[in-house]
Amino acid sequence: MNIEKIYKDANAYLEGHFKLSSGYHSQFYLQSAKVLEDPKTAKILAGALAKQIINSGIHIDAICSPALGGIISGYALAEQLGVRFIFAERVNNKMTIRRGFEVKKNENFLICEDIITTGGSALEAANEIEKNGAKVVAYAALANRGFCTRQKSNIQRQDNCKLPLNKPLFALEDFIFDIYEPSNCPLCKEGKSKAYKPGSKNN
């Protein structure tokens, strides 16, 4: 499966000057929402991801995604694995589980994102799950931005990966783009554009 082609065909592989959720700037942005607007594509991608998880033998009881980005991929994956799905959301900037979603003691949770960059939001969601007495046994995303190491890839983990070393990350592809600290961003230095966050304002 050619994930890059799927993103490009859906006009979801954007070039410009972007501000990522992690705070870094980048010339490229993967707009997964554009890929997932076709439920058939969502099903195919989630099916491929589910296959990796089933083959690993890791038992999953439920999936939790950090809102908003991870919700569609997490839900599609839960459908493929036949497990329930909940999401965590930010309230006053703190990741929280609301809406009466239950996290039961000793349940095995998988945290699902659309894209894992440094894994910061995924880790915050995982901490909320574990605070409630359940176990986070794995992470998953459609694609990995190359800072963390996914299963079946030998890309080296970078220092800014926030995911725990002892939990597997399942993803369909690695996308390695340069990311920059805002203070050290060549696109900012060029002065022709301001970084923006896709999904915010009119984007």
Nearer to Zn ion, 154 or 183 (CB): 183
- For residue 187, the minimal CB distance to Zn ion (Å) is 4
Select from 175, 178, 179, 112 the least CA-distant residue to 144: 175
Residues that bind Zn ion (CB under 5 A): 25, 185, 187-188, 195
CB atoms within 10 A of CB 140: 31
Nearer to Zn ion, 141 or 179 (CB): 179
- For residue 25, the minimal CB distance to Zn ion (Å) is 3
How many C-alpha atoms does 46 have within 13 Å on its Cβ side? Answer: 26
Residue least distant from Zn ion (Cβ): 185
Select from 38, 54, 124 the least CA-distant residue to 88: 124
How many C-alpha atoms does 164 have within 13 Å on its Cβ side? Answer: 14
- For residue 22, the minimal CB distance to Zn ion (Å) is 13
Nearer to Zn ion, 101 or 196 (CB): 196
Residue listed under structure tokens 């002892």: 166
d(CA 133, CA 104): 7
- For residue 21, the minimal CB distance to Zn ion (Å) is 15
- For residue 195, the minimal CB distance to Zn ion (Å) is 4
Nearer to Zn ion, 62 or 195 (CB): 195
Residue listed under structure tokens 């033998």: 57
With both helix axes pointing from N to C terminus, report the angle between 39-56 and 71-81 in degrees, rounded to the nearest 10.
Answer: 60
- For residue 147, the minimal CB distance to Zn ion (Å) is 18
d(CA 23, CA 25): 7
Nearer to Zn ion, 15 or 102 (CB): 15
Nearer to Zn ion, 35 or 187 (CB): 187
